[in-house]
């Protein structure tokens, strides 16, 4: 395949996965994040890279956002929300984070392929993204030309970017407002 064919196929796959997300679940996700005093973001592997971008945009909005595992991340309380990106919804370290958040009364939002996973059972909001992954129960049900969990990882990143746009609208912000919080020590 040539580049153009590959690019068109990937865009088509992303169109399918992003449009399969429930608008109601997206709004519930945005409302949960918006209502929290602090937002804690967790993910492993490539999902961890995606959630870091979400934490950064939340910071640009003036929200108190943290990446779980960083040395400057405080403790989570009942007024916080833990946002987890996990295709399988069963990564052991993330299951442990969810259990801790639940034990202190914090809310949990999960972006996943598997809405029946262990983390989903603890979550207040579950956003399902229909994408294949070698670790997913849906492997083989949905096809992708991309390797491993690439389609899910791209889709979760774009879902979180769309969520930021929804949060911006809800909070009457624009890109210029947010740019004032952009890093100036690069």
- Is residue 57 a part of any domain in this protein? yes
Confidence at residue 181, expressed as pLDDT on a 0 to 100 scale: 72
- Is residue 181 a part of any domain in this protein? no
- Is residue 86 a part of any domain in this protein? yes
- Is residue 102 a part of any domain in this protein? yes
- Is residue 100 a part of any domain in this protein? yes
Confidence at residue 176, expressed as pLDDT on a 0 to 100 scale: 85
Can you give the pTM of this predicted structure? 0.92
- Is residue 160 a part of any domain in this protein? yes
Q: List Cα–Cα distances, 52 to 3, 22, 55, in angstroms.
A: 29, 23, 5
- Is residue 182 a part of any domain in this protein? no
- Is residue 97 a part of any domain in this protein? yes
Confidence at residue 141, expressed as pLDDT on a 0 to 100 scale: 60
State yes or no: is 128 an active-site residue.
no
Confidence at residue 133, expressed as pLDDT on a 0 to 100 scale: 65
Confidence at residue 5, expressed as pLDDT on a 0 to 100 scale: 96
**Count of structural domains, the chain:** 1
- By residue range, what is the domain housing residue 103? 3-174
CATH number where 110 lies = 3.40.50.10490
Catalytic residue among 38, 128, 153, 156: 153
Q: How confident is the model at residue 178 (pLDDT cuts 50, 70, 90)?
A: confident
């Amino acid at each position: 395949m040539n580049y153009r064919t590959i690019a068109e196929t990937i865009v088509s796959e992303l169109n399918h996965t992003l449009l399969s997300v429930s608008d109601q679940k997206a709004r519930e996700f945005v409302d949960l994040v918006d209502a929290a005093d602090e937002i804690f973001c967790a993910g492993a592997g490539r999902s961890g890279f995606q959630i870091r971008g979400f934490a950064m945009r939340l910071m640009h909005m003036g929200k108190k956002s943290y990446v779980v595992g960083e040395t400057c991340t405080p403790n989570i309380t009942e007024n916080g929300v833990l946002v987890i990106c996990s295709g399988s919804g069963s990564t052991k370290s993330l299951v442990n984070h969810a259990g801790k958040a639940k034990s202190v009364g914090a809310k949990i939002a999960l972006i996943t392929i598997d809405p029946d996973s262990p983390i989903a059972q603890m979550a207040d909001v579950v956003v399902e993204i229909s994408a294949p992954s070698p670790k997913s129960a849906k492997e083989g049900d949905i096809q992708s030309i991309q390797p491993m969990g690439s389609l899910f990882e791209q889709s979760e990143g774009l879902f979180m970017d769309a969520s930021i746009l929804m949060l911006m609208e809800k909070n009457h912000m624009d890109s210029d407002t947010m740019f004032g919080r952009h890093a100036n020590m690069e």
